Structure 1
Amino acid sequence: MAPRIVPPKVYYRVFVVLILLTLATTGIAYLDLRFLNPVAAITIAVCKASLVVLFFMHVRYSVRLTWVFLCAGLLWLTVLIGLTLSDALTRDWLPVPAPWSATASKNRR
């Protein structure tokens, strides 16, 4: 299979989109979205990583075997994150003790 020649215009467009997504990440960092801040930042990061993998690493124009290995890697990453979360979310956490100054002030009375 002959290598596909990608016009430079595609790379420029992807670069502009990456810059816009970087600015969006910076803008979201200054917004108070409570628990959605990390979700929004990770979503934008996944979009940027997808663009880099698809266009700059030429996966978009690759053969199906490359896509199989890409999907296998993503599946393995999902399994590892799932196992880590299942451990962290089902663990009995110890309560955090009070700060030293609060404990000392209670002992004075």
Structure 2
Amino acid sequence: MMTGIGRLILIWAALLVLLAATVAASAVLHGAASLTASLLIAAIKVGLIFWFFMHLGEEAGLVRVMALGAIAWLGILFALSGADYATRGWW
């Protein structure tokens, strides 16, 4: 396994490739396909950042579960906030 600066450069390059994929998806795809592709690519980028830069790959299982629980809770909060906003009769 790669350690040190080489691993960081490899992850940085992967993040740049994913950034290029996001830009290409927004230029080529339209509508819901563009949104879906962009969100999927963003989730992969978040996973790389959590795993390598926040060192979740080196932590015990309980820390990983807690991080996953925090992400799930944040997703629930966003979903409920979006549902609240969508169901209000403001227009």
Q: TM-score range by the shorter chain?
A: 0.7 to 0.9
Higher RCO by CA contacts (8 Å cutoff, separation 6 or greater):
1
**Deviations 1:43-89, CA, capped at 9 Å, x for gaps:** 11111111011011110111122112202211211220121122123
The structure where helix makes up a greater share of residues is 2
Runs of 4+ aligned residues of structure 1 deviating over 6 Å after TM superposition are none
Offset of 1:42 from its aligned partner? 1.7
TM-score by length of 1: 0.69
Q: Distance in 2 between matches of 1:79 and 1:35?
A: 21
**Is residue 2 of structure 2 the alignment partner of residue 23 of structure 1?**
no
**Number of matched pairs:** 90
Aligned to 2:65: 68
In structure 2, the CA distance between the partners of 1:18 and 1:56, relative to structure 1 (3 Å rule), is same
Q: CA RMSD in A?
A: 2.0
Larger Rg: 1
In structure 2, the CA distance between the partners of 1:6 and 1:57, relative to structure 1 (3 Å rule), is farther
Aligned to 1:106: none
Match among 79, 82, 85 for residue 85 of structure 1:
82
